[in-house]
Structure 1
Amino acid sequence: MAELEASQVSPVIPNPRVFVGDVPVGITGIKFRDDNADGLRQPGEPGIGNVTIFIDADNDGVLDTGETSRLTASDGSFTFPNLVPGTYVVREVVPNGFRPTTPQSLAVTVNNNDARITFGNSPTGSQIIGCKFLDVDNDGFRDGNEPGIEGVRVYIDNNNNNTFDAGETFTYTNRDGSWQFSNLNAGLYRIREERLNTNPLERDFPQSTPPNNIPNLDINLGQNEIWGCANIGNTQLYEIPIFKFRDTNRNGTFEPAQGEVPIANVPFILDINRNGVFDAGEPLRITNADGRVSFRDLLATNTYSLREIFPGTLADGSPALIPGTNIPTGNANDPVSTTTNPREIAVPGPLVQPQSPLEFAIPDSNAVNGIRVIRANFAPTFPPTNPEPSVTFPAVPASGTSSGGVGNTRPNITVFKYNDQNVNGRRDLGEAGIGGVQVFIDANDNGAVDAGEQSTTTNAAGEAAFTNLPAGNYVVREVVPTGFTPTMATRVQFDLSNTDARVIFGNALNSRITGCKFEDLNNNGYKDGNEKGIAGVTIALDLNGNNVLDAGEPTVVSDTFGNFSFNNLAPGLYRLREVTPTGAIKTTQKLDINLGANQEFGCAVVGNGLLYNLNVVKFRDDNRNGIQDSGEPPLENIPFLLDLNRNGVVDAGEQLVRTNAGGIATFTNVAPGTYDVLEVFTPEVQNPFPIPTGPNPVTFNVPGPNTAPVVSNTATPTADGTTPLSSATLDLVTGGSTNGVTISATEVSDPLTNGGSSVTQPTSGVDSLLASNAGGFVDTTKTEDSFSSLSIVPQDTSEDKKLLLAAPAASQVF
């Protein structure tokens, strides 16, 4: 038999020892409950199970027979495995009781990798979202350095008794001070914070919002409205502690070893009018037997003149009585001050102290262990000032027995990656590992994973290891995952010889800024309960602080309810600015936010008070009934005055206009307020119809039925073509702006006799803005707040018959 060639022999295939697996591409995802309706899944937002997700093969928006579908698992997850590379349209069927906050359909392209997508739904019904914060400067406005307050009960006061009662809906503020109520019907909601006499929050932290108003927030909520930025601020009270002593050696320092002693019954005052004497109504305090006394309940951003007063002695040489008391003064024999008197004391400042620290515990049966902690959470210092070492060298424990021989090994590098929730650079109890993070030995130290370099991924517990390594110098790096900021070094270098090394990488979640754009009807810089959001306004982060919207700077556009958010932000300073709508004035302060890691800075309010045109109709009142009847024509060239000081005469700076051919006198760029419009009858201002048949003056409310907002949706770029960002805010007291921009007013008439010409007069802030409770004129083309993305259709006033400004018909007089 002939010998077979090798090619003719069937090989014997041994049992496999190397297993190689492949799988087709797939699409995975999560369906989640988007509680704050921001389109992003935040910590604490759960998955939604039993929701239909399908591949819409014909892209008709309907789940058809034969189209692949999945029901989400209890955690909201779903998977479409084993797909051919290509593009697929994936849709959700929005469950009853929810509305989508992300697109309902997504075009997903898969090639060599799986794709992961998310669908977010928010419960239907309305929501109120708000913030509780420490108002450090007591201005009623949340500044960028003011922290949220955690652990405060916020409730809906159904019976309006300003007391939290059993059965009333409530929630607690989270670590960032945020809170919300969901699934609400349209209606009036009285939002209150719990105030208890036994609670330091009540005693030492009075409510500061709304500014200069009753500290209540009553919200008129619309159907399916998301009402954001319900701000509740508390400000801290301070005290001035005083110690009075006999300064024997006159060095201004208390030295008991030198026989110096406290002095009792010494009077001190806060000299409010700084006239050097005690006046009725000024606070007076008297030192006790230990020489001590305090002035309490002092508000921030004030400076007080602290003065020791010296009532002196009586004619017989005995001490005089302290004013308003029967107590002899204790400093009659010590009339010379050895320390500054009076002393100017700033609050807050080095000579004052808070009356209470803002971290305390109160009993609460609804809280864990029956105790609720209330605290202010300032953004932690970043980067951490005292992180733990990035590498340690644990000893390798011996194992086995002496009879089993002597074993040796080479070093390992173990890696632990964790979520540094409190951003202190140290792993604390409860801080979990982060899985799926790539770590590698950077052999050439170039910061990138190169071919041949050892790389691995952390497991679910955040652990990874490089084993059996030769001695040498190593650089270990992490690839920081998207959405995180490192709180420890991302590059760790060390020598490895006869011990193992353990490398630790800490990351904290990135942060976000949420806020609201709203119409500030009363110009108080606070979003009151009757003030609605403004949609379509561009909000920007001015990264370089030049007050110009530059290429690459982040922008968002306010949504239907005026809400906006910036997400995935690293720690740092963020200057929040708006592209102010034309015809609007910015009423809120500029907001420079010191953002920490793993923080949400919420309720960043950007308010505008709209400017209005005020239209006054003038007609010939033939029948003298004060109403414009059919056939009564309009009157042209009739002079009217916006009488800002209500003195009934034309004063310098007050705007005078004449009616046009349609009988309408228009005052332009009028700020909100209440105004008197006066028809003028003077020899200097000719009026061909000198007898009024209606009241004169007539009072108008702005806004009101005879006004239309002055807004446009066109940009007003600067001369160099750049888009200005708002940094100045209108001063509603002086009429000036915070950055020195000149405010002027425009009138459409000669103030004396020429009703057909147009002039522009500069006006003082007081003349142009405020007279009693009036508003004023502002030409916004001269300010930085001169750009609009908001359009409102002006009101048609052609048929307005509510103005009783008429003149009788001309007739011969016999």
Structure 2
Amino acid sequence: TVFLDLDSNGTLDFGEPSTLTDSNGNYGFVSIAEGTYEVTEVLPSGWYTTPGFDLRQSVDVFPGEASVAQDFANFTILNGSIRGTVWNDLNRDGFRNADITGAFTDPGLPDWEVFLDLNRNKLRDTGEPTVLTDAFGGYSFADLQVGDYEVQEILPSGWEVTSTYSDSQTVAVYSGAESVAPDFANFNLTTATLGVVDGIVWNDLNGNGVRDVNASTGTFTDPGLTGRVVFADVNLNGLFDATEPTATTGVDGVYSIPGIVPGTISIIEIVPTGWRATAPLSASHTIALRNGESVSGLDFGNYAPHDASIHGTVFDDLNQNGGRNTGERGLGGLTVFLDTNGSGTLDIGEPQTTTLEDQFFTPSVDEAGTYSFTHLAVGSYTVRVLVPAVLSATPTAELTHVVTLTAAENRSGVDTAAVFRKNEIHGVRFDDIDGDHLRDAGEPGVEGATVYIDLDRDDSYDPGEPTTVTLADGSYSFSDLEPGAYVVRGILDAGYEHTYPQTTGGTVWPAGTSNPAVGTVTPASITTSLAAGATHRETVSITLPDTGALTDMVDVFLLFDDTGSFVNNSPIVRAAFPA
């Protein structure tokens, strides 16, 4: 009650205006005359004015205005109480479930002991207030002094507290009020039926957090990831503990974890170094697993940043020691690819590149034979090199390299020591029907003719000199030849005469060098060392015989090598001498 103490005697007298506060403690006086009023409250029994406040407020009232008095603040020293509920979390999901009518399907636990742990030692001591829950699991403690209390339940054997709940609650008691404690939720371990969770760990190739699908086929374009570890974090500590259920994904990225005790748990993927989780970003799903429930679709997306690379060189391994030595050149124009599907062949869509030729605009760098693959994710890669037939002697082991990359690794030295096959000579023995020294259309090959390499150049076949026999088309070949100059001759069969080539000795290749060397050269040899860009001038005297194989026009070759014969890359000087 609040009144206007018109006579200022502190007592509500007959005729003095009074009112009652509403449910929010508000009050008001309307249509009162201008003046100063003593607004006074009447305290009920057992209530007192809060220090700093007063029972009376002087308020000035002005015409047409609403005046606001200062608040009255009061308190009582009445005791309070605590009430709460203990219930059976049947499926251990941490929620008190209800049916469509709102009735709880997780029942209260009757005759459950609850006590006030006055000394907070987690034990029920003599003299500490203790009650039993009623048929609905409810309990209460009445006539409690104002203050904080530790409300503790006693768990019978075979029961445990549901995850996210506790077996003790701190409750504040207020004067004259009833405080409601948080629920106690418990689960009977003897009734537990283990649950199962499953899902897929997949490679989020573009890192967009969505498992993409081929619009035409409806199949996933983001593949599953094998060998990924997923575990059930039953104690919710965010760490994999030795006793927690776990599983490893198969080749399709699928995992399944059986034998999980129902309750609130987290399913967590252990994301390998160099990868990051994209779906969900936390690499964790927290669920309330019901008793005996099977939960599917707990998938994880992972993305591997593409910041690693592979570099190497394909080179001519002249000494076949497997390493690159001085003078062994890089080989440009060869195909190198990443065999992503392990088929052993270059398939559509597989990354490929071509080894470089040496670039003229970088004279200080030799790029010949080099290759690289960049923007690669963490993982294992099979690098394969495709070589032409001339490099068929390359060891098989040199054509394939397995490289395992870590995050942001730049792997160099993935080289291939290529080996050229031995030299070969190919040709055809043909029937020069018209004797014009040329093979014309319709002139057939001669089958079964003997061809040999005249190693000592004596114009006759000697035992031990390589021979072969022409095939049906007249073709022949010699293989496994060391570098050098060779004279190839045919043995004429009865009824044939020789028409081509018209050489009588020396080497067959190139044209114009078919006769044995004649004459005298002074000096016989010149040995000099030249720096880059340097020159050397030498006077050479050549004396030619006036008889023999010479004609009225002579080609003179100065051979700059140590073989004594013309070879394909010999620099030459040619001069013509009139008769």
TM-score by length of 2: 0.29
TM-score by length of 1: 0.22
Greater RCO (Cα-Cα under 8 Å, separation 6 or more) = 1
